């Protein structure tokens, strides 16, 4: 099962957002992220959070449509998104996609991106934003990349260092390289062939990939 968590960030184009969705997704709204589901004329299966960002009228309407509510106190040690991820894992998600997780408040955007580094459970987590997809590699691991040649691919270290970084099928190759936290060495590469690969031996690497509108993610 794939869980899609709608977060209360800014979304500019719902037509672009809809391309990431599947009919059989398990839909979770992280508090005010429910507004994105309403804009897409979809209903969440679960709403998670302290519910301080969701309109009460909308909340009542979604409950009538069958949405379950997991309410948390306002004074809590985790964001609504982190709680929603925990709920998705408890409910059996094999993979998790976050939508609306960037944009708006800078602190929330940074925290949401770093959540990818924190999560080390059985369900891989990705973030989609517009035509881009962000995923995390934990060494030793290999990520296969498919898509049209020329599409952007970037890699950014989320741990102090990432070792054994090897690219295959990218315009600017690396072999057994080390990327360090704060380095921009891995930014703005492109696909030279498909499929391509990024492999790491140790550390945590954030990989973002562009999917043009004519390409299926």
pLDDT band at 123 (very low <50, low <70, confident <90, very high): confident
Q: In the beta sheet, which residues pair with residue 49?
A: 71
**Residue 146 confidence (pLDDT):** 93
- Among 15-19, 66-70, 121-125, 167-171, the minimum mean pLDDT is found in 121-125
DSSP assignment, residue 73? -
Rg (CA), the chain: 18
Could you give the percent of the chain with pLDDT greater than 90?
A: 77
pLDDT band at 121 (very low <50, low <70, confident <90, very high): low
**Residue 136 confidence (pLDDT):** 92
Instruction: Identify the CA nearest to 100 among candidates 35, 179, 193, 177.
Output: 35
Read off the tokens for 117: 């580094």
Domains and CATH numbers, the chain: 2-130 (3.40.50.10240), 135-210 (3.40.50.10240)
**Residue 26 confidence (pLDDT):** 98
What is the mean pLDDT of the segment spanning 133-162?
94
Condensed to tens digits (0 to 9), the pLDDT of residues 64-107 reads 899 999 999 988 888 999 999 999 999 999 999 999 998 777 88
* Measured distance CA(8)–CA(33) in Å, rounded: 4
Residue 217 has pLDDT above 60, yes or no: no
Condensed to tens digits (0 to 9), the pLDDT of residues 8-41 reads 998 989 999 999 999 999 999 999 999 999 999 9
Mean residue pLDDT of the chain comes to 92
Cβ pair 195, 186 in contact under 8 A? no
Instruction: Identify the CA nearest to 192 among candidates 134, 155, 154, 148.
Output: 148
Cβ pair 8, 33 in contact under 8 A? yes
**Residue 106 confidence (pLDDT):** 87
């Amino acid at each position: 099962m794939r869980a899609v968590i709608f977060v209360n960030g800014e979304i500019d184009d719902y037509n672009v957002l809809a391309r990431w969705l599947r009919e059989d997704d398990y839909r979770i709204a992280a508090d005010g992220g429910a507004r994105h589901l309403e804009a897409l004329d979809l209903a969440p299966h679960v709403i998670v959070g302290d519910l301080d960002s969701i309109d009460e009228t909308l909340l009542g309407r979604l409950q009538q449509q069958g949405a379950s509510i997991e309410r948390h106190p306002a004074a809590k040690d985790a964001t609504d998104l982190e709680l929603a991820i925990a709920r998705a894992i408890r409910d059996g998600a094999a993979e998790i996609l976050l939508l609306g997780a960037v944009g708006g408040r800078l602190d929330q955007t940074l925290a949401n991106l770093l959540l990818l580094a924190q999560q080390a459970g059985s369900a891989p987590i990705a973030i989609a934003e517009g035509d881009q997809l962000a995923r995390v590699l934990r060494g030793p691991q290999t990520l296969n990349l498919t898509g049209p040649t020329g599409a952007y691919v970037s890699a950014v270290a989320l741990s102090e260092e990432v070792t054994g970084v090897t690219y295959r099928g990218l315009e600017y190759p690396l072999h057994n390289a080390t990327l360090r936290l704060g380095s921009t060495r891995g930014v703005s590469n492109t696909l030279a062939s498909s499929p391509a690969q990024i492999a790491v031996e140790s550390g945590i690497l954030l990989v973002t990939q562009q999917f043009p509108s004519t390409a299926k993610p």
